[in-house]
Amino acid sequence: MHPIGAAVEFLPEGCIFRLTQNCIPGGIRVSTFAVAPEGIANRTNESVAREARGGLTATPKTLSPWLFYDQVGSHLFEEITELPEYYLTRTERGIFAAHAEEILREAAIAHGPHPPGKLTLIELGAGTATKTGILLAEAVRQQGDIVYQPVDVSETALAEATENILTNIPGVTVRCQVADYTREGLPLDRLRNTRTLALYIGSSIGNFTPAGAKEVLRNLRAQLLPGDKLLLGTDLAPNGNGGHKTEAILLAAYDDAAGTTAAFNLNVLTRLNRDLGANFDTENFRHKVIWSPSESRIEMHLESLVAQRVTIPANGIGGALKVRFAAGETIHTENSYKFTPATVEALLASADFSATKSWQDPRHLFAVTLATAV
Ligand code: TRP
């Protein structure tokens, strides 16, 4: 069952939500629509097969993070964001709650005559947009109304975001867009005669290598005009900022006591079993988290506990694949880079954004930086 129930109709064209007025409490007027690149939400088994073959025959072995997000994985990820150890989500939300007014006022300051008009909010990887509501409500307070354009690979997440926002924040028009900004050029449907505030939060930028992060921001910048803004959320590196944040705090966020992040990581193997008929025994692997000071990143791995051989049956991509693991060998599944104010500024500058102002929580765990497209 999709999360909106009767309020939304999924049309055959793809990500087009038609929200019927009388289904929404308060009778909010809605116009919605969206662009629908075909079938991004569910990767075909063929792309899973290609990814598995490429990653598991490489040295060292890797699997791409997008494999995490099947139905079970997406659910586990939502759980991660609520874990006591996973401070990122609630800390960023706290920064928004404490500073929304100032963030929006700064973002609304025009730099030069163009582009004119009200702010439009565009969010990359919006998901269910639970944190964004704080900023949207403040934007409505400041400018009367706002158009919000969430972009995500998950149609169901966008449907949930749309419903939450339309139900709870009058004055917002939602235009959702199903797209994968990491794999295609970002097809931003930029509104004319408005200024854009792009949101890229949750430290999602940290899941790219430095080169990849620069490319994502350059792609975004290419869709913006000088004077448009970007609000970037970044998790901070430990041992800086007067030593508030320790490596232990950081490691626990990715290796929680309840084992949710471990389950999230191991679910990749379960997915390969399901989608490709592989025979991974998840009991023979463990979730392993490493802090790499030299790369300033958290690494997530799946470590083989024994010497073993796993088979992926023949498929459209190639013949049967036998994958050998030595005891202690790992599959590298994810990186989460951690920043300092200086590395955030340098990254922004490399994509032609100039950092304007930055906010941190009182413990200096996380930073939210406003930048202007130059
Ligand atoms: N970008 C967030 C982070 O790096 C969320 C995230 C992405 C994440 N992939 C993850 C969290 C894997 C835990 C595990 O923390």
Q: What is the pLDDT of residue 157?
A: 85
**What is the distance in A from the centroid of ligand 1 to the CA of 336?**
6
User: 266-270: which pairs have CB atoms within 8 A and are 24 or more residues apart?
Assistant: 266/302, 267/68, 267/70, 267/72, 267/73, 267/76, 268/63, 268/67, 268/68, 268/73, 268/302, 268/333, 269/302, 270/72
Cβ(261) – ligand 1 distance below 6 Å: yes
Say whether both 200 and 313 belong to one domain. no
Task: Output phi, psi for 119, to 5 deg.
Answer: -80, 140
223 and 357 inside one domain: yes
Ligand 1 atom, smallest distance to 65 CA: 9
- Cα–Cα distance measured from residue 366 to residue 91, given in angstroms and rounded to the nearest whole number: 7
Query: Residues 152, 349, 97, 258: is their CA dihedral positive or negative?
Result: positive
Q: What is the CATH number of the domain that holds 195?
A: 3.40.50.150
Question: Residues 341, 334: contact at Cβ < 8 Å?
Answer: no
Is residue 254 within 6 Å of ligand 1 at its C-beta? Answer: yes
203 lines ligand 1 (CB under 6 A): yes
Distances (CA, A) of 14 to 48, 50, 147, 230, 322: 22, 25, 21, 28, 38
Q: What pLDDT score was predicted for residue 30?
A: 35
Q: Are residues 227 and 272 in the same domain?
A: no
* 217 vs 208: CA distance, rounded Å: 11
* Tokens representing residue 137 in the block: 């409500």
334 lines ligand 1 (CB under 6 A): yes
Q: pLDDT value at position 155?
A: 85
pLDDT at 36: 35
pLDDT one-digit tens code per residue, 195-209? 999 999 999 999 999
The ligand 1 atom nearest the CA atom of 264: 14
70 beta partners: none
215 three-class SS: helix
33: in domain? no
Determine the distance separating the centroid of ligand 1 and the alpha carbon of 304, expressed in angstroms: 22
User: How many angstroms is it from 77 CA to the middle of ligand 1?
Assistant: 8
Domain interval for residue 318:
51-68+255-337
Output the pLDDT for position 42: 42
Q: Does any domain span residue 276?
A: yes
* pLDDT for the residue 286: 98
| 237 touches 370 (CB < 8 A) | no
Residue 186 lies in a domain: yes
Domain annotation covers residue 1: no
**Claim to verify: residue 227 and residue 309 sit in the same structural domain:** no
Q: Is the CB of 127 under 6 A from ligand 1?
A: no
234 lines ligand 1 (CB under 6 A): no
Is the same domain home to 217 and 365?
A: yes
Q: Are residues 328 and 271 in the same domain?
A: yes
Mutate to test the pocket of ligand 1, among 67, 75, 76, 77 (most ligand atoms within 8 A of CB): 77
Would you say residue 314 lies in a domain?
yes
Atom of ligand 1 nearest to the CA of 254: 13
CA torsion angle 35 38 40 45 (round to 10): 170
Report which ligand 1 atom has the smallest distance to the Cα of 203: 1
Is residue 28 in a domain? Answer: no
What pLDDT score does 6 carry? 26
Q: What is the pLDDT of residue 181?
A: 79
What is the per-residue pLDDT for 187? Answer: 66
From residue 26, alpha-carbon distances to 5, 129, 149 in Å are: 17, 21, 22
Q: Show the low-confidence residues of the chain (pLDDT under 70).
A: 1-43, 112-116, 183-187, 241-243
Residue 242 lies in a domain: no
Residues 318 and 354 in one domain: no
Q: What is the pLDDT of residues 119-172, one digit of tens each?
A: 999 999 998 888 999 999 999 999 999 999 999 888 888 998 999 999 999 999
Domain co-membership, 220 together with 275: no
Residues 173 and 64 placed together within one structural domain of the fold: no
Beta bridge mates, 311 = 322
Across the beta sheet with 297-304, the strand order is 61-62, 330-337, 297-304, 285-292
3-state secondary structure of 302: strand
Q: Are residues 359 and 215 in the same domain?
A: yes
Q: Does residue 14 fall inside a structural domain?
A: no
Q: Which two tokens stand for residue 306?
A: 């024994």
Burial class (CB in 10 A: 0-12, 13-18, 19+), 140: middle
β pairing state of 308-312 and 321-325: antiparallel
Please tell me whether residues 270 and 344 are part of one structural domain.
no
Q: Are 144 and 57 in the same domain?
A: no
Answer whether 265 contacts ligand 1 (Cβ < 6 A).
no
How many independent structural domains does the chain possess?
A: 2
CB-ligand 1 contact for 255 (6 Å cutoff): no
